[in-house]
Chains A and B, each alone.
Chain A
């Protein structure tokens, strides 16, 4: 049984429920026969991928849905072999270059050139070009992005690129100037409610407006998370009413605990206790930057207004260090220690008055 996120995913541009303007624009681009390279960006759970898949269907017809997974081997200049998975249909390829880490340049160079240099064989195909979808484009290394630049121009008759990214900050300017930027914003809470109601109806669950609204609020405008929450609620509870509690993910519960401990007990012993919890989180593959961010936002309600900006300041600073450094636990603990120090000083300052 598929998750409802996948089961109720809109398959064509007509089925999309929000961002009508954007869907219309994508359709007109797809129909004009002159499709540009595009860069789709927006927060996660906003429907970027769904839109891209729907656009592909609009471009090529139902043939794009017949996909197969290819495993390819690439060879780097230092003779290292790289295994790489490609999701492909007759008309498009989908790759996640960040899978191969620093060697993504090799994949981009080899694969795109190969695609670009072969013409569309199927004479009945709607378009003459093939589309390459690149997931997580913001994780492409500089080298790989540089490799994309000229390829995009040179092989434009045979190749169109669709880049998917969470933010455009890491995409180099030359690429941005060669693509059409498409922003997909997160759905509003109202829109999430509508989608949830639809999903519930399709599953034969009762449509509960109150519950939907609370889910929409708790989901941070992330539609995927909202649908997951809905499904979890229905899976764990026998009888679902408007008042059913929304389950929070385990790791967030833990993060909240950490936040509380940090505020209550500012001592070395506490840091040691927290370290065990951090390791627990990290060993469950929760990204360190997510932990840090939720921790910072969990701390905010516990501290006074004056302290809030300080908390954010250090959180941002240590987040940066996590990205640059290699061992996340140092920086997480660094943040904890820093917070405790700052908070202690603040409290002492208060006592003096």
Chain B
């Protein structure tokens, strides 16, 4: 009998809304230990920010209780994993989630053998019945299971081709959701079996709203322009922005009051708030002064050669530990938006950038690459 009551209590809790319950539960357990990225992961589809098109389609499936195979792709931090998890939660509710959803990601072994065994076993498992009572009324519990293959672009080709037939054979009782950053790494036969959803980078308005919401919930004070700085530094990656926000909040909170309750700490830090400088510090943005020094060195002097100046500037930057990728990105923005440089030269400069990017990704020496990049730009600017 006791379990019956327990169920009822849980249902009552569910009726109050999933969002608040799970949020509170986690808060009781460990108020500060959880990364905010996890804490503020959208709990329902309507919470998912900025992917209106995708969520609208998925909302409809909630009512229709039918779902195609899905392929989510887009840059990191745009809410791909969040969306499917939220959808699964809304479809099945907390009790059915475990028996109806299988989540595999790159941290699990996902070779061809796993696809053949684990995925296949799960795919052909018969459906369990949803618990009776009002559960069906609260959650649709459609008659299929979902297999989420997160980070599918890191699956081998063989493993992907092993999925092909599995997807079709068990399509009556199983739906697949593949999530990846690069749709090109998914083999064509798989991609053609799925309806594709592109997740675009978050636009400023939505990202700002979300960040401000979180800041308000966590009692973090944001100084003027801090949100803009967060958005600028994270380049449309909301997860990055939230991580930065949390780190910044930690810094501000912890320096203000070393001891005390978690909540008090944040309130104490109110005097300072998160400033643009703190955000840029955390994001590793290279200060304008340093960049200007490099740019000035690159612009060729009237007489003589730029080598000495460029070499000195680059050497200093490397020793200071500024990451070459970040330097390249910032230099790129400066050069491309510089109206003093004629278009034809910009074309050639951009080619150099692309080559250097490839080299850095291949693991070439940062110092040499940066020096080469700067010198070549300098030469192009000098008109040689």
Residues on A facing B (Cβ under 8 Å):
24-25, 28-29, 31-34, 36, 41-43, 46, 77, 109, 112-113, 128-129, 138, 142-143, 146-151, 153-154, 156-157, 166-170, 173-174, 176-181, 183-186, 220-221, 289, 293, 296, 300, 305-306, 308-309, 312-313, 315-317, 319-320, 323-324
Contact = CB atoms under 8 A, between A and B. Distances in A.
B323 A109 contact: no
Contacts of B324: 167, 169
B94 interface: no
Given A296-B368, A312-B372, A319-B368, A29 B284 contact: no
A28 B243 CA distance: 17
B325 A43 contact: no
A178 B239 contact: yes
B321 A151 contact: no
Contact of A313 (B111, B284, B365, B375): B375
A220 B318 CA distance: 11
Given A143-B154, A169-B324, A183 B284 contact: yes
B243 A180 contact: yes
B304 A305 contact: yes
Contacts of A324: 362
Interface string B201-242: 000000000000000000000000000000000100101100
A170 B363 contact: yes
Interface string B227-266: 0000000100101100100110011011100100000010
B362 A320 contact: yes
A62 B167 CA distance: 54
Contact of B254 (A32, A147, A148, A317): A32
Contact of A150 (B105, B113, B305): B105
B371 interface: yes
Interface of B: 30, 32-35, 37-38, 75-77, 105-109, 111, 113, 150-151, 154, 181, 234, 237, 239-240, 243, 246-247, 250-251, 253-255, 258, 265, 282-284, 304-305, 307, 311, 318-326, 359-369, 371-372, 375-376, 378-379
B376 A309 contact: yes
B319 A185 contact: yes
B305 A316 contact: no
Given A319-B364, A320-B362, A128 B33 contact: yes
24 contacts: A28-B251, A29-B250, A33-B32, A43-B318, A43-B321, A146-B106, A149-B107, A150-B107, A150-B150, A156-B34, A168-B323, A169-B363, A170-B363, A176-B240, A177-B243, A178-B243, A180-B247, A181-B283, A185-B322, A293-B367, A293-B368, A315-B368, A315-B372, A320-B359
A77 B364 CA distance: 31
A150 B106 CA distance: 7
A315 B370 CA distance: 12
A315 B76 CA distance: 34
B77 A177 contact: yes
Given A150-B150, A177-B237, A323-B364, A305 B372 contact: no
Residue of A34, A220, A300, A305 most packed against chain B (CB within 10 A): A34
Contacts of A309: 305, 307, 375-376, 378-379
Contacts of A143: 106, 154
A220 B378 CA distance: 25
B109 A109 contact: yes
